[in-house]
């Protein structure tokens, strides 16, 4: 019996390399892995649905569920997770010394709907009493002029969002003091170019992020895996086949982290770092699947609604195909 040929667009993370290198079988599927940067993947999938399966921003996918017809379904695989306290960059001359000083300031966002931005704004609101509506947001390219939202957002009037000029970038504006801060998953070039003018709000971000995890048990989810809805409806079995393959690929990486004969990551204290991570977060510190991630997903979905993106608070169950909410047991 011939296999179903599918394309997968995904950044070449170590946790998916087994799929890229064809070491991990995908039941019933002949998978073509397209290794391109995340920004390109998201743009091409959201705007043009070019791939059968793709990595996608959790926020962008959530917003797609309010479109008709809904273009995608998802499985609970999370190739990108990241703490985001390290992603708040400020101009030293802005008067910002601590989170509450952001109130009333001008803050750049490459796109308002970016998943990293949703997490940052939510954490600032929950933990530091910086309401989402207490700053003015400026949207545009971080390093390249002319960036726009990948899909339309309609925000309540209390959230102030302006586009920057077509010939400007957020990084330049932060360095020049035209904006006071940037919330961005990518480190702006202004941090290196600024000769001390630009810095992180949380300079000791590892300590802050560890405390955040210990207090909340949240390791923020950034991306998930989506399937074109019409393809899934025609072949619903592909959801479980893909989920199994992603889990097997990730399992390889867990083992690689503790390979002592020859380090597989270019970090001299990789083993100790892996041990410390497991001591804090448990053996399965980057969990896939539904049940282990309900708390994290519920928090994100609340943030999306509170920030004017989602039209109602979705439940975590509404994000994923029903076949992926449970697994068989022997």
Concatenating the DSSP letter of every residue in 175-220 gives: HHTSSSEEE-SSPPTHHHHTTTSEEESSTTHHHHHHHHHHHH----
Contact present, 113 and 59 (Cβ < 8 Å): yes
Contact present, 191 and 199 (Cβ < 8 Å): yes
**For residues 284 and 277, what is the distance between their CA atoms, to the nearest angstrom?**
10
Q: What is the pLDDT of residues 106-158, one digit of tens each?
A: 999 999 999 999 999 999 999 999 999 999 999 999 999 999 988 889 999 99
**pLDDT at position 228:** 98
pTM exceeding 0.75:
yes
Q: What is the pLDDT of residues 227-285, one digit of tens each?
A: 999 999 999 999 999 999 999 999 999 999 999 999 988 999 999 999 999 999 999 99
What is the token pair recorded at 112?
């308002």
**For residues 139 and 183, what is the distance between their CA atoms, to the nearest angstrom?**
10
The dihedral of CA 308, 314, 315, 319: what is its sign?
negative
Q: How confident is the model at residue 1 (pLDDT cuts 50, 70, 90)?
A: low
Q: What is the 3-state secondary structure (H, E, C) of 17-37?
A: HHHHCCCCCCCCEEEEEECCC
Q: What burial letters (b/e) apply to 172-181, b meaning 16+ CB within 10 Å?
A: bbbbeebbbb
**pLDDT at position 291:** 95
Mean pLDDT of 180-199: 93
The β-bridge partners of 31 are: 6
Phi-psi category of residue 325: left, alpha or beta, with phi > 0 → left and psi -120 to 50 → alpha? alpha
């Amino acid at each position: 019996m011939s296999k179903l040929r599918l394309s997968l667009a995904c950044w070449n993370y170590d946790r998916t390399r087994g799929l890229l290198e064809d070491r991990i079988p995908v039941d019933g599927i002949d998978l073509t892995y397209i290794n391109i940067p995340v920004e390109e993947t998201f743009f091409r999938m959201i705007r043009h649905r070019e791939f059968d399966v793709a990595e996608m921003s959790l926020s962008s996918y959530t917003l797609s569920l309010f479109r008709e017809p809904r273009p995608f379904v998802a499985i609970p695989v999370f190739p990108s997770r990241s703490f985001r306290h390290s992603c708040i960059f400020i101009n030293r001359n802005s008067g910002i010394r601590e989170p509450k000083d952001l109130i009333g300031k001008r803050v750049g966002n490459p796109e308002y709907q970016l998943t990293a931005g949703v997490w940052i704004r939510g954490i600032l609101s929950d933990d530091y009493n910086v309401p989402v509506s207490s700053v003015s947001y400026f949207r545009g390219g971080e390093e390249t002029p002319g960036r726009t939202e990948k899909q339309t957002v309609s925000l309540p009037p209390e959230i102030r969002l302006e586009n920057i000029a077509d010939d400007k970038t957020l990084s330049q504006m932060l360095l020049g003091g035209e904006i006071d801060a940037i919330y961005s998953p990518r480190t702006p070039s202004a941090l290196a170019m600024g000769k001390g003018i630009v810095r992180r709000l949380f300079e000791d971000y590892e300590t802050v992020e560890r405390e955040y995890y210990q207090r909340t048990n949240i390791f923020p989810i950034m991306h998930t895996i989506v399937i074109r809805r019409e393809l899934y409806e025609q072949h619903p079995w592909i959801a479980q086949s893909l989920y199994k393959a992603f889990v097997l690929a990730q399992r390889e990486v867990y083992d690689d982290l503790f390979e002592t004969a020859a380090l597989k990551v270019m970090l001299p204290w990789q083993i100790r770092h892996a041990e410390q991570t497991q001591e804090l977060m448990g053996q399965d510190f980057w969990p896939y699947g539904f049940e282990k991630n309900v708390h994290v997903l519920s928090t994100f979905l609340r943030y999306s609604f509170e920030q004017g993106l989602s039209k109602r608070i979705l439940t975590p169950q509404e994000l994923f195909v029903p076949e992926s909410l449970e697994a068989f047991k022997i």
